[in-house]
Structure 1
Amino acid sequence: MVTSRPSSIYFGYGSNMWIDQMDRRCPENKYLGIARLADWKWFICEKGYANVVRSPGDEVWGLVYEISEADEQKLDGYENVPDNYHKQYHTVTVFDKKHKAEGAAGAATLALIYVDVERTKESSPKTEYIYRMNMAIADALKEGVPEAYIKKYLRAFIPE
């Protein structure tokens, strides 16, 4: 795991899959496509928000964005770094929508991921978070995140 800023690629796996929210939070962002984080698992943690933990055989899908340093500082505020989330850098496989649909292999890249290392137990989502996650799920599906992933992981916590 790298702890300094090696790239400007950000992997959003929770409500930041909602493209409009990312545009409001990080106005300089450039949407790049979808990505998969292998051997991690998505869940709602005790704070009521999305989190990921290492889990061999599982996977986390999300949207990737190129962000500026100014946008990253804004995201740090939204993610309440370091009180809630910690910044980590992990390799994700990036796909654009066309290539994912064709089953092509994606490109491996190092991406910033916010991880809550202290709250690792499953819980229920905050009421306000359900709406934002449903908007994020709609965008994720539209962009090509596998529906089977959404059903297996996200819908176990987020009602429609």
Structure 2
Amino acid sequence: MTLHFAYGSNMSRALMGARCRGAEAAGIAVLSGWRFVINPEGFGSIAPRPGGRVHGVLWRLSARDLAAINAYESVDSGLYLRRRLPVRCGDVQAMALVYIARRQGEGTPRPGYISLVVEAAREWQLPEIYIRSLARWAPSRWRGVRAKDTGEVG
């Protein structure tokens, strides 16, 4: 079994179930020292940030599910890189596989993407302040200030 920390659309039970049929949720988890961003391609990624926290879901994946999620995240074509990073799930710290966009920088989310991420965050009852920071990435909510500009550490 491989532990996978999901922070974007892979937090969704329905979407993860369709992508990785054998995936089992281990619970909600936190990745410290990072922040959520939208990559130049319009999807979720993370970037280092001292004091930052990314909330998400820890999944247990079989070898078959791992191959499926690697394909979905376009690892072979280089869209995302895989890294093992320490996450905290309750009182337990574990090393988990995390996908990070190869191209760094920030972009505009693809239509509907942030809605999926926010819905999944609500499904898992992540902290409301964190959910609001995710929702700020929606272009319709930009009022001259984007989530990255707020300095908020969810």
The TM-score bracket by the shorter chain reads 0.7 to 0.9
8 Å Cα contact 2:9-2:120 kept in structure 1: no
TM-score w.r.t. structure 1 length?
Answer: 0.81
% identical aligned pairs: 28
Which residue pairs with 1:50 in the alignment?
44
Verify the 8 A CA contact 1:91 1:110 in the aligned structure 2: yes
Does residue 113 of the first structure (1) align with residue 108 of the second (2)? no
Q: Which runs of 5+ in 1 are unaligned?
A: 1-6, 96-105
Query: 60, 68, 77: which is aligned to 1:74?
Result: 68
Please provide the CA RMSD for this pair: 1.6
DSSP-derived class of the 1:56 partner: strand
* TM-score normalised by the chain length of structure 2: 0.84
Determine if contact 2:82/2:100 at 8 Å carries over to the other structure. yes
The worse-fitting range, judged by mean Cα deviation, of 142-151 and 14-23 is 142-151
Is 1:90 matched up with 2:85?
yes
Query: Which 4+ runs in 1 deviate beyond 3 A?
Result: none
Give per-residue Cα distances to partners, 1:57-101, cap 9 Å, x unaligned.
Answer: 111011111000110100011100041001100000013xxxxxx
Higher relative contact order (CA 8 A, sep 6+): 1
How far is 1:151 from its partner?
1.0
Aligned residues: 139
| 2:151 paired residue number | none
C-alpha deviation, 1:133, in angstroms: 3.8
